[in-house]
Structures are given as structure tokens and as C-alpha cells.
Structure 1
Amino acid sequence: MSAAGIKNLGVGLGLRRENVDDLLARFPAELDCLEIAPENYMKTGGKLYRQYRELAERYPVAIHGLSLSVGSLHPLSRKFLKELKVFLKEARALWMSDHLCYSSVLGAQFHDLLPLPLSREAIRHVVPRIRQVQDYLEMPFAIENVSYYASAGKDEMPEWEFLREVAERADCSLLLDVNNIYVNAVNHGFDPYEYLRDLPYERVLHIHVAGHIQYQDFLLDTHGAPVIDPVWDLLRYVAKRARPKAVIIERDHNLPVLEESLAEVATAKRIFAEARAPRTAPRPRPSAGALRAAGGAR
């Protein structure tokens, strides 16, 4: 489904319980948008819901889900999809996103994002399910690349080929998480720029940027640390090629003071501004004769 014509929401933060009071106290102008997980607000009320609604009156909101489990073997939950569609309409959502993974078995949620085998069989399984979600919600649907620490089976292709083929066959959009790419590259020993080289950038609708930690021999995708320079460098590479409608700085725990989060928002904005700035052609070097003539004209 085409995402052409969708409004650009800009650069923002994920809304968390830990930052909601600061955001309401300041309504920072540096922030363009927010991102929420619909599962936290569907069919709810109370203080947190009222706070979300107050912020949504000021900032456009991107909706990013956690529990569709498009890779599971059991049928998609029609009940959940129906409730989600109602919420998306109330939220005036422009698109919906979730992860290219599975997170439940027979309806039991793991509250974790588990990877799919990088196989032709997995592609054949997940593509019609993504199409089903997108058709039912009647809006663009973006799938996010996930971090993982062990393969889910015998891989038949690199992760980036799997992601590209799923997106193209399902005719869906991409939510590109550059930190997940970096974490997987280090943990599994591939070049992150090889991952980025052949992606269908016209499908990149949404971007995530986050931090991670080192744990023994692994990087852990914790969303609990500042964004490091190599991840910013990946974003610079992507910014020259993609035109996303939202860029979100994710921080799920160890949230810093708001000024630090806004500084990361400012960095992401600067990266995209620099990527989109018109390039100035180098001035031609004057000839020796022209230099002599200029010198004699003083």
C-alpha cells in the first residue's frame, strides 16, 4: 500500500510513563511528534490516558505496536485487530507499525520479540498475514527489523534480503531501526553498511534510533543508554537515501533528564537537515592567466 502523500511528522520521542510529566510541564517546541504503543491506551481510561490525550492535542502521534505477532503460526486475533482499528481511528493515525517477528503462541504473549527463520518458508508464511493486517486496518502498515541473539533456524539468506523480500511481496512499508542493525551486525558479524546498501528506501516510512549496552561478548538492545556515534553514522547513511515520515528516539528505561533526550532529537534533526541541504558545486579554480590579470587590476 502506498504511503505517498502522508504528512511528515518530523522527529520525536517515544512517550513513556517516566517522561510524560516533564512533557506536559513544558510542551517543548524542539519536539515535532510523539510515538505511542497502542496496547498501553486501547480500551483504557484514567490519568495516563488523559495525559496521552492532552499531549496528542499538541503533537502528532505515530502508532507503533508490540503484540500483533505477524510471524506467529496461530491466526491473527480478529478481536485485537478490531479494537486496534477503532483506536487508530480515534487517534487519527496516518499509519500503523509493528515488528517483523512473533511474540505469542496460541494467544499467549511472551512480551518479547522473537526472530523468524530467514527462510523462503517464513516469507511465504508472513507475507499474507502482513497483507491481512494492512487490508483490514485500511492504512499503510510498516514492519520493523528486530534485534536477536540467536538464529531461529537454518538461515537461507541474509537478514536484509529477508526484510526486503517480505516488504516487497507484502507491499508494505518499513520501520527501519538503525540501532537494531548495528547490534545485530556486531553480534552476528556482518557489515551494517552491506545491510543498508540495497534496502528499498522508498518503503522506509518510519525510523527508530536507540541505545544499547555491552554485556559480556554481546551487545544488548536495551533502549536504556545514549545513542552512540556508530549508530548516528548509520542514520547519516540512511538520511541521504530515505524520506521517512517520522524519526523517533527510543528510550525505554534509565530515562535521562528531558534536556538530554531533546539533545538527541536535535542531533537527528541536524543529520536530516544536512542530508537534504543542496550541495554547492565547487567553484572552478581560476587559471594562472586570470590570477595574473586580477593581480594587475589592483
Structure 2
Amino acid sequence: MPVSVLTAGPRGVGIGWRREIDLTVERMAGVDFVEAVAEDLHADELPASLVALRARGMPVLPHAVSLSLGGAEPLRHDRVEHLAAVADALGAPLASDHVAFVRAGGLESGHLLPVPRTREALDVVVDNVRAAQATLGVPLALENIAPLLAWPDAEMGEGAFLAELCARTGAWLLLDVANLYASAVNLGQDPERVLDELPLERVAYVHAAGGVERDGVYHDTHAHALTEPVLDLLAALCARHRPPAVLLERDDRYPPDDELAAELAALRAVHSPP
């Protein structure tokens, strides 16, 4: 498949928009773009805060969590159509979801589950991504997840899997460095090797978030402050190929505004040093 060109996309440092911190995000200095969970939005009735941000010219990116692009079951086209409608309503330059599955046998997992790193599974993801791209009116970026386990009999590493997925579909990468760190702790994966295998020029933007390690397992909570290992991985990425943008995710236990601002400043210091 021909490689697409991302003519417009986020730049600088952003933050995940959530209803619990909508006014904080709206008023915070140093925010270049925001991202909102697509399933939390209705295309015909956007939250006033997002409307205000869009009126100021700030890019707002829809981020989906329920397409189940890695699932063996037929793609839910109604969910793709919802993502497309939200992206259109926001005037977004791209949309995103995860390389994961969230349903099987008619059941919803409520969690992003890892895809087997096999050729057969890769073919399934490729077909689903292409089907989603046929409906979306904007480019699609694909995010690596934070797994707690790996399927046996892997035929390729995560970096090679994602690289071939992008090559075959023309999709972009939403590279989550916190999830990359989770894979390092939980699966013994070498994150530097993954970075070396990825087509870093296909990274549309980057996610960074906090988490916590308990009993040797790293939990990507989005409820804790950024950690040094995650910032170090961002630095390692930037040393290889500086991505256009990086975004802070926070979904629970929201800290005071000055602490959120300090985390944004920490990301900017690594991504865009003076």
C-alpha cells in the first residue's frame, strides 16, 4: 500500500481532555493541542469546553478505545462511523485507536487486550485497519498498548509487528512510551530494540503517562505522576527521531493544576528543549 503523507497533525505538547478537568485544560498555558476519548463524545453535541478550544484554533484529536482492530470478529462499522463523525465534527487532522482487541464471543472485555505476535494475527489487524481507513475521513494512527501478559509462540517482536502493520496499511503510529516501559517491565522486552525496529518517521505523536509498579508488575494507571523511566524513553526516542508532538494522559486522581503544569513542562523539556 502506498505510504500516505500526514499533511497536518499535532505539534508541541498536549494533554488529554477529560470532563473532570475541562476548565483546567481550557485555561492552562503551554497546551498546544488536546486529545479526547471518542466514545465519550457525541458529534452533534460537543462539550462547550471543546467547542471553545476549537474556536481558538487548538487541534482536538479523537482517540478511540473500542474499535477492536486486533479482534478476529468482524469490525463493528457503527463504531468506526462514530469515530469518523466525531473527527469530522472536531475538524481533526487524524484519529486513533489501539493495536488490541476488546471483544470476543459477543463479550466486551472493558480492557485493551494484547494481540498475538503472529503472521495470522497480523493479517487480521491489517484487514481491520484497512476496513476502518475506508470509512474514516482522516488518517488513522495506531497505538501500542501496555500488556500484562503475552501470548505464546510469538513469531515476531512488537517493533517488527508494528513496522509491518504500518507498511502494509499506510497507517501512522501513536507511540506510547509509558506502554513501551510497561512492556519492558512486564514482558522483559527491550524498549530500545523496539525503537530501533519501528519506522519512527511514521510517529504522528507520542503518549506519556504515569503508572506504578507492584510486585514486579507495572500498571499503566494514568493516575500517577510521570516517572523517570518514561521520560528517559521519550528522550531515547527523541535522540533517534524527534516526533512532532507529545501528549500527557491523566484519567484519575487528578492533581492540582500546578502539578499538571509541571508534568507538561517536564515533557516539553525533553521533547522541545530551549
Query: Is the shorter-chain TM-score for this pair beyond 0.5, marking a shared fold?
Result: yes
- Structure 1 Cα separation of the partners of residues 196 and 105 of structure 2: 37
Verify: 1:179 aligned to 2:154, yes or no.
Answer: no
Size of the aligned set, in residue pairs, is 271
Once the two structures are superposed, residues 191-225 of structure 1 have per-residue CA deviations (whole angstroms, 9 ceiling, x without a partner) of 21112122101110120001111122211111111
Q: Which residue of 1 aligns with 2:222?
A: 223
- Structure 2 Cα separation of the partners of residues 61 and 132 of structure 1: 24
Q: Which residue of 2 aligns with 1:286?
A: none
Q: Indicate the RMSD between aligned Cα atoms, in angstroms.
A: 1.9
Q: Which residue of 2 aligns with 1:11?
A: 13
- Structure 2 Cα separation of the partners of residues 3 and 261 of structure 1: 33
Once the two structures are superposed, residues 100-156 of structure 1 have per-residue CA deviations (whole angstroms, 9 ceiling, x without a partner) of 000122554322100010101101111121112122213211110001111234211
C-alpha displacement of 1:54? 2.2
| Normalised TM-score (structure 1) | 0.85
- Structure 2 Cα separation of the partners of residues 35 and 266 of structure 1: 18
Verify: 1:29 aligned to 2:29, yes or no.
Answer: yes
- Structure 2 Cα separation of the partners of residues 237 and 124 of structure 1: 30
Give the conservation status (yes or no) of the 8 Å contact 2:10–2:205: no
| Cα pair distance change 1:57/1:193, threshold 3 Å | same
- Structure 2 Cα separation of the partners of residues 152 and 183 of structure 1: 16
- Structure 2 Cα separation of the partners of residues 118 and 124 of structure 1: 11
Letter in 1 for 2:211: H
Q: Which residue of 1 aligns with 2:112?
A: 113
Relative to structure 2, which stretch is displaced further, 235-244 or 246-255?
235-244
Q: Which residue of 1 aligns with 2:209?
A: 210
Where does 1:1-298 land on structure 2 (aligned, <5 Å)? 1-24=3-26, 27-43=27-43, 45=45, 49-58=47-56, 59-105=58-104, 108-274=107-273
- Structure 1 Cα separation of the partners of residues 259 and 223 of structure 2: 13
Unmatched 5+ residue regions in structure 2? none
- Structure 2 Cα separation of the partners of residues 142 and 240 of structure 1: 22
Relative to structure 2, which stretch is displaced further, 142-151 or 259-268?
259-268
C-alpha displacement of 1:57? 2.4
Letter in 1 for 2:41: Y
- Structure 1 Cα separation of the partners of residues 245 and 5 of structure 2: 12
Once the two structures are superposed, residues 31-51 of structure 1 have per-residue CA deviations (whole angstroms, 9 ceiling, x without a partner) of 111110111012574xx8223
Which one has a bigger Cα radius of gyration?
1
Once the two structures are superposed, residues 53-111 of structure 1 have per-residue CA deviations (whole angstroms, 9 ceiling, x without a partner) of 22332322122111111011221122222232222111101011100000122554322
Percent identical among aligned pairs is: 35
- Structure 2 Cα separation of the partners of residues 109 and 3 of structure 1: 34
Letter in 2 for 1:147: A
Once the two structures are superposed, residues 2-44 of structure 1 have per-residue CA deviations (whole angstroms, 9 ceiling, x without a partner) of 23321443211101122113234xx222111111011101257
| Cα pair distance change 1:239/1:257, threshold 3 Å | same
